[in-house]
Structure formats: C-alpha cells, structure tokens
Amino acid sequence: MGFRKHKWRTICLSLLLGLTGLSIWALRTDDKYFEIIKSLDIYASVLRDLNNYYVDSLSPFALMRTSVDAMTGSLDPYTTFYPQEEVSDLKFQTTGKYGGTGIAIRREDHQVIITDVLQDSPAGLAGLRPGDRIEQIDGKAIDSLSADSISDMLRGEPGTSVVVGVYRPYLHQRFTVKLMRAEIGLRSVPYAFRLQNNVGYIRLQQFTEGCSQQVRQALDSLKSLPGGLRALIIDLRGNPGGLLEEAVKTANLFVDPGQTIVSLRGRVRAWNQTYRTTERADDDSIPLAILINHQSASAAEILAGALQDLDRALIIGQKSYGKGLVQSTYDLPYDTKLKITTARYYTPSGRCIQAINYTHVGDILQADQVPDSSRQSYTTAHGRIVKGGGGIEPDVPVNQHYLSEIAQDLLVHHMIFDFATRYFYEHPKPASPADFTLSDADFDSFLAFLQEKHYHFSSDASQLLDQFTDQVQQAGWWEKLRVQTDSLRQALHQVETQQLQSHRKEILQLLKAEIADRYWPQYGEWLFSLQTDEAVQKTIDLLDHPQTYRSLLHLSQLARVP
C-alpha cells in the first residue's frame, strides 16, 4: 500500500512539474494554451486530493470517466469518449462486425429466448432457431443474469468456443451445442428484391465498411434477372448513418465522375474538404427513388441530399432526422478513443441540414430547433427549390404509418412471435413465399392461442380510467360516481374485445411476416411486409408513371428516360 501511495505521489509530482514547464512555454506563445495547462493543473490536483483524502476509497479512472463524460456531454450528443472496453462498440458501428455466435436474445420472466439467428453464423449453422430457449452457458445456469450479461457471455474472440444448453418448445427437446465463435458481419444490405412491374428494391440499413459494394452487388443481381429492372428503390428508412466515404461511393454508383456529393467545413480550415465522384457510374439513367423517414440520419442524409440536389432521384417519405454534423475519431492513451464533432457537412446545393443548433449560455448547453423562418432556400441542378436546416424534406411526402394500439400490444407481449414459433413446428414449409398464405382458420387458431395464454388487451384508455378511479376514491367521491364509472368500464371492455376483429387484416399481415421469417430467414418477413408498405407501394406507382416522375424532377425538358 505504501508503494502505491508513493507511486501515485511520484506520478502526480512529475505531471505537475511537466505541466508547470509547459505553462511557462504557453505563456510565451498563446494565452489559450495557458488556459489549457492551467485547467489540466487544477484537474490533476483535484483528482489527486480526492484520491488521497476522500472518506471512502475511490477509483481514479471512474472519477476521470465521470468528468470526461460531463465534459463531452456539455458540447453535443455526438462527441463521446470510449474507454478500452467500449472501443469494440465503436468498431461495430463502423464495420458492422463483432466476435460472437450470431444470436439475438430477449429475457422474459425467467426464460431467455432466442429472437433471431443469422443463418451463416455459428448458431445458424448449428441449427438454432428463433423461439429456442437458452438454459445454460458453459454449464452455468443463467436464470439470474441480465440479457446484456448473457449477450456478453455469447460474444468473444473468434476461434473460442462456448457450450449452450437449449430447450426447444413444442418439440420438447433439450440438447447442448458447442459453438465456435466467429467474426459476425451484419450486412448493410440484408436483402434486395424485384417487386411488381420489374421495380427493384434495395434495403440499405447502415453505412458500414464496404456497404457501397454490397449495393453494387445487389443492383447487378437484380438487373441480371430475366426482364431486368425498369426502376429502383433504395430504402434508407431507419438508417442512422455511418461512414461518410461509403455514402459518397454509393452516390457514385448512380452519378458520373466529377460531381460534388458533400463538402465538409470546420474550424480547422486546412481540414475542409469536398468529396466528388471519381468513377464511372454503374447506372446513371435508371429511374431512382430514395425512401427516408425521421430516423434517416447522417450519412443517409448525405446520400439522399446529394441525389436530391443533383436531381438524380426522387426522395419519398417523411422529413429526415437532420444531423448535419461530422465526427472524427482520435486515438488516446491506453487504447481509448475520443470521437469529436469536427465539421458540418453541406450538400451539393450548399445547404447544411442540421436541425438543432447547440449553443452555450454560460455553462448550460442549449439545443434549439432551427426555426422555419431561418431556413434558407437553395436550388437543385434543374432549379427546384430545397431548404437547408431541419433535415431533408421529401419530394413526395408519405405519412408515417403507425400500428394500431392492439397490434402494438400484441407485439410488446410477444404474442405474434410466440404464435409464429408454434405455427412453424405444426405446419410444413410452403414450396415458395408465393404459396404462403394464412386462412380464416389460422386466424381463429391465433384467437384460441391468445385465450390459452390468458391474453387480455388493456388499452391506454383503460389505464387512464384506472387512474381516474383511484383519484375519485382518494377524493371520497366513489359512491357518487360508481355507477357511471362501472358503465364506462363495461363499454370500454366491449370496445377492447372487438379490437382483434376490427384490426384483423393488420394482425394477419403481422402474423404472415413473422411466420415467413421462420421459413425464409433474413428476408421472408420483409418480403411480406413490403406488400402492404404504403411508402413502397406509392413509390412503385410513381415509377410506373414516367411522365409524373420526370415532372417532379424537372426532367421534362431533357432527353426522355426509358
């Protein structure tokens, strides 16, 4: 213990002596550097004295982490410190890769249920399926562990092994499987389809390393189908962004060389940069539509904004998130990293689409929405008006579709998932997705399943009525309002019991999508979901009318698009 105290004093003394020397140099050069050294000197002294004199034993690293998190948090939500144990999370964000087994789980009461399995992962190759329950890991019971702790046990260095004890319901099978961990790569393009009327659809869910190549491969594959492609939809809904360079490369697939895609401007002018296309486009003429929503952000907005400004694609959906800030990552000592907001980005027309201004009033960070009155107007390549600030506005707005309250409740309570598990084991696999449908008898079977599970739908209105009843009883008014309240509760219960039939079509579609994912993993669910996707269907309709498509892009005066 004495050695540790001596070592700590030696380190602090050396640091302070070094800082003192640096502070003298700083005074001779720039007052701002002196402020930095002065602040570091004070910080080191506070950390030293807290460690030496606080009533309880402290962790210097924990104290440092708290102060650094407060420091970065006072700037904006994107400037972040990553300690060594979280650097792998940062890597996953940029590469989409991690070491593990390819299993996603959820905890329900005392059960740990597999919710998804990547088919080419160790778990998928071993035959594990959604609905299987994990009971042991490496011979240890996991009843008391959180879902995060269990996920950590399943992850690990590629080449290491983990033994998983599994129970398969409905077949009543218990077995163990030894999984050799591997590098798991989540595909940025998980699926691509050719929909009706030879319209292609590519889902791009994140801009990780190599995603532009995945888009190219999907495009080439769709175009090679008999009949080829007449038009293309790229779905960026829910895409949180990622690597800026990959957004530029993806734009280059549809735009010839020499076109500006995005410009970066920050405080360090030497780092300002303009990214232009450098390669010949794979297809610079196919009619193109980009789907966005409120969760499309960052690199997704760079791609959508560039193709909109260049009049290369129609943007369809809802206004995007509005993240016009760029982060750079820097290495720190002891394998830690710091991600810093270093610039704003600007689309080809010159607009920054940042929706929130982060300013400081004293020590307080304020986040203010950019008001519509201050949003400047810009023009696209063909003279269309677009606005900066507030995200990317779609050329063709489509309202966000929201599930009914009963459908959300069925999903939250896993009734759709659990019924799909049972259905999968009770019915043989159809020959193809085109042959799969659900009958009235299947829906009646689902209703019976809900009764078996003692499921009862309690609406938000019922919960509000419960709160009202509590308030009335506390106020002593219950006897005066009992009859009216009971009558209202009975009427509300009748409405709730009718919801399953009132939303029968919507519930059947959710059941079809979930069951299809069991028969055709990784793409079955989405194939059936697209059939009733309002934004997708409206986009196909627009692409089916070339004159409307050309008119919206101001292309009527140009050569006719086939």
List phi, psi (to 5°) of 142.
Answer: -120, 15
Confirm whether 56 is a catalytic residue. Answer: no
Assess whether 32 carries a catalytic annotation.
no
Residue-wise pLDDT for 203-212, tens only, equals 999 999 999 9
Q: Name the pLDDT band for 561 (thresholds 50, 70, 90).
A: very low
Q: What is the mean pLDDT of residues 145-150?
A: 92
Active-site pick, 121, 188, 296, 298: 298
**How far is it, in rounded angstroms, from Cα 192 to Cα 114?**
25
* pTM for the whole structure: 0.86
Report how far apart, in Å, the C-alpha atoms of 465 and of each of 386, 412, 488 are: 47, 21, 9
List, in order, residues 6 or more apart from 524 with CB less than 8 Å away. 433, 513, 516, 517, 518
| Least confident piece of the model among 17-31, 106-120, 542-556 | 17-31
167-186 average pLDDT score? 94
Q: Which CATH class is domain 97-185?
A: mainly beta
Which stretches of 29-160 are assigned E, i.e. beta strand? 80-82, 97-100, 103-108, 111-117, 133-137, 140-141
Does the domain at 192-400 match CATH 3.40.50.300? Answer given as no
Q: Which two tokens stand for residue 560?
A: 């006719």
Which pair of structure tokens corresponds to residue 199? Answer: 């319209």
Nearest to 292, CA basis, from 264, 263, 265, 323: 323
Look up 544 and say whether it is catalytic. Answer: no
For the chain, count helices (H), then strands (E).
Answer: 18, 23
* Annotated active-site residue in 188, 249, 263, 309: 309
Positive or negative CA dihedral for 299, 302, 308, 311? negative
For 248-279, write each residue's pLDDT tens digit. 999 999 999 999 999 999 998 888 999 999 99
Q: Which of 249, 319, 323, 512 is catalytic?
A: 323
Q: Quick one: average pLDDT of 109-116?
A: 92
Contact status, residue 554 vs residue 383, Cβ threshold 8 Å: yes
Q: How confident is the model at residue 14 (pLDDT cuts 50, 70, 90)?
A: very low
Quick: pLDDT tens for 437-483. 999 999 999 999 999 999 999 999 999 999 999 999 999 999 999 99
DSSP 377-421: EEE-TTS-EEE-SSSPPPSEE-PPP---HHHHHHHHTTHHHHHHH
| pLDDT band for position 365 (cuts 50, 70, 90) | confident
pLDDT tens-digit readout, 484-505? 999 999 999 899 989 999 999 9
pLDDT value at 558 more than 50: no
Q: Report percent pLDDT > 90 for the chain.
A: 79
What is the average per-residue pLDDT within 536-550?
A: 95
- Structural domain boundaries in the chain: 2-58, 97-185, 192-400, 405-532
Q: What pLDDT shows up at residue 139?
A: 94
pLDDT of residue 97: 84
- Over residues 371-414, the pLDDT tens digits come to 887 889 999 999 999 999 889 999 999 998 899 999 999 999 99
Q: What is the band of 556 on the pLDDT scale with cuts at 50, 70, 90?
A: low
**What would the pLDDT profile of 66-105 be if each residue is shown by its tens digit?**
999 999 988 999 999 999 888 888 888 778 888 999 999 9
Q: What is the pLDDT of residues 298-353, one digit of tens each?
A: 999 999 999 999 999 999 999 999 999 999 999 999 999 999 999 999 999 999 99
Nearest Cα to Cα of residue 103 among 88, 118, 91: 118
Instruction: List the one residue out of 490, 500, 318, 482 whose CA is nearest residue 400.
Output: 318
Query: Which percentage of the chain shows pLDDT scores above 70?
Result: 93
